[in-house]
Structures are given as structure tokens and as C-alpha cells.
Structure 1
Amino acid sequence: MPNLDRGLIQIYTGNGKGKTTAALGLTIRAIGHGFKVYIIQFMKGSADYGELEGLKRLSPECRVESYGGKGWVHKGLQEEEHVLEARKAFKRAREIAVSGEWDIVVLDEILNALWFELLAEDEVLELLEIKPPHVELVLTGRNASDRLLEKADLVTEMVSQKHPFDQGIVARKGIEY
């Protein structure tokens, strides 16, 4: 029996820090109530992200898969590897979401994959329409389009007021990654 009668669509977007962190906070809260959460990470295939080790400890209620090519993606100059990895991630995300077996499906950084034109927005919009009614879908990343914002039930924009990077402090293990 599903944990939710009605699953909504959430978007965490904006240029500020905290989009993935917010989705992971939701993950922890939901698991505490017996929910099952599946996380698909887009554009995060080759880095050492601390959340991956932490999330393994929440298995089997939480599963995570990461996809992405090596190096940076440059808009308009996408390498085939980046496009193929994004397509694989989306195919898997669609399988997981429409299966109805998971209460919450987090599509981490999918908005970035859309902005970098690694995926077609129409396919993501279709997924929002065909997801089972009891599945909560969470999309994170910068540059959410107006069409996606319109479909969402909850939109949170992270706004950077001040960031250590602006002071020359590089990303710190355990804090930013």
C-alpha cells in the first residue's frame, strides 16, 4: 500500500546552495516515516560526493544511482558521452517513477541537464503527467523553465546572499560535496 494518497511535484531551483541538500533532507524525513525513496543523480557520474556514502547507509529504503560523463559540460558544446549519460539516467528515472514501487523519486540536477540541452524538456513534462498518482517527484537544479514551474505543486528557489566561494574559499569535503 502506498504511503501517499496524492504525490505532488516539487522543484528546488535557483543559484543558491541547498537544492540537493533540501531533497536529501526530505529523503531522511520520509525514510523516518517508512517511505521508500529512489534518487537518480544527473551530471554527477565522476565525482566523490559524500552524500553517496551516507545514502548507502539508508538502504534498502533509499537507493541512489549517479550518472554523468567526465569533465565539465558546456552549453552548445555537449559531448556525446554527456548526452548518453543523461539519456541513460532519464530512462532509468522514468522506469523507477512509473513503476509505482517508490514513494518519492528524486531527480537530482535534472534541471541542469535540461538547461545544458542533454535532455528534451517535453519528455520530462510527459513524465510529470504519467507518474502514478501516489508518487512524489522532486526535481532539483538551476534554471527551471517556466513550463516546469507551472506544472509543479511546490517550488523553492534558493537565492545566494553570500557564499564562501566569493571569499576565495574552495568547496569543502563534507560541506559542499
Structure 2
Amino acid sequence: MGKGYVHVYTGNGKGKTTAALGLALRAVCAGKKVFFGQFVKGMDYSELKAANFLPNFVIEQFGRGCFIHGEPSDEDAKAAKDGLRKLKNMLEEGNFDLVVMDEVNIALYFKLITSSEVIEAVNNRAEHVEVVLTGRYAPQEIIEIADLVTEMKEVKHYYQKGIIARKGIEF
């Protein structure tokens, strides 16, 4: 694959994880190996079943099964730190062609991990590994190390009409 690049998908609009999943699907269909690590998340999202259908696709959550409201707990921080440690090793080993750090920017926003830790992990990766960092509130230092940055901007959303999250579409 040659040199791997760093993508950031951020912003307040819907579609950051979905875009990363689309890229992961494309990579798997091209014979690449993908690891999809989800920070903060621990709930039963439909994409967790993808590994049952896609060869060379591994997904793991680094959250506690609930969304963080208010101040994060020590358990939230431990889950994020453990996840980052695992991803750092994967990035260095280079056994996966694409590594997605889903919602890592939210973990940074809640100060569960630091930007310097994430940047160190990304910078020390095997040269061929492509990396995607998702989540709203991407800090400037993450944007600066990226080769590609996409900001999802909400223009209109059916949540505003009271539509709740639907299985297979939002989760």
C-alpha cells in the first residue's frame, strides 16, 4: 500500500463513524486488514456484527457500556487508556493496514487521554498503516498532524423533529 496517511473526521454533523466504516469496508474488500477501535462507546451498535460478515475486520470497544454524562469516571479513563495502549501496539506492529480510532476526539475532549499520547501513537506507527481519528471537537494539534481533515457540518437533522436513533441507521 506504500505510505499510510492520517485522516480526521470531525464536526457536529452526523456521519463521522459511518464514513470510517465505509472506508473500512472499502479496505476489507480490497484485501486489507482493518482494526476498528471505538473509544467511549460500549453499547450494542450494529457495526459490532460486521466482523461476522467481513474477513480481516476486527472491532473492539474501549468504553463502559454507557454514554458519559457530566464528569467521566476513573473507569472511563482506564478504559480509554487501555484502548490507547492496545492501539499504540497495533500501530507499531503494523499487522493491520487500516486502524480506526473511533471517537478518540471525544476521549480527548473528556481528558480521558491526552493529545500528546495519541500523536505519539500515530507518529510511531508502521509506515504503511493508514489511521482514521473520528469524533467531534478534534483539537488543533490533532488536525495539524493529519494529512486529510473532513468536518461534518449539520445543516438539518431529523432529531430536531423528535426522531429518535434507529437501529441500523444511527446505531
Give yes or no for TM over 0.5.
yes
Instruction: Return the match for 1:49 from 39, 45, 50.
Output: 45
| Whole-angstrom CA distance in 1 between matches of 2:169 and 2:67 | 21
Report matched runs for 1:1-177 at 5 Å: 4-45=1-42, 47-59=43-55, 61-74=56-69, 77-177=71-171
Tell me if structure 1 keeps the 8 A contact 2:94–2:128.
Answer: yes
The 8 Å contact of residues 56 and 63 in structure 1, kept in 2 or not, is answered as: no
Per-residue deviation, residues 124-167 of structure 1 (Å, max 9, x unmatched)? 11112111111001100010011110110000000011111111
How many residue pairs get aligned? The number is 171
- Whether the aligned pair in 2 keeps the contact of 1:102 and 1:135 (CA below 8 Å) is yes
CA distance in 1, matches of 2:151, 2:22: 16
Q: Between the two proteins, what is the percent identity of the paired residues?
A: 44
* Deviation digits for residues 67-102 of structure 1 (CA, Å, limit 9, x no counterpart): 212433245x22111011111111111111111111
The 3-state SS of whatever aligns with 2:26 is: helix
Structure 2 unmatched ranges of 5 or more: none
CA RMSD of aligned residues (A): 1.1
CA distance in 2, matches of 1:118, 1:105: 20
Counterpart amino acid of 1:50?
S
TM-score, normalised by the number of residues in structure 1: 0.93
- Give 1:54 deviation, angstroms: 2.4
Amino acid at match of 2:44: D
CA contact (8 A) 1:100 1:134 kept: yes
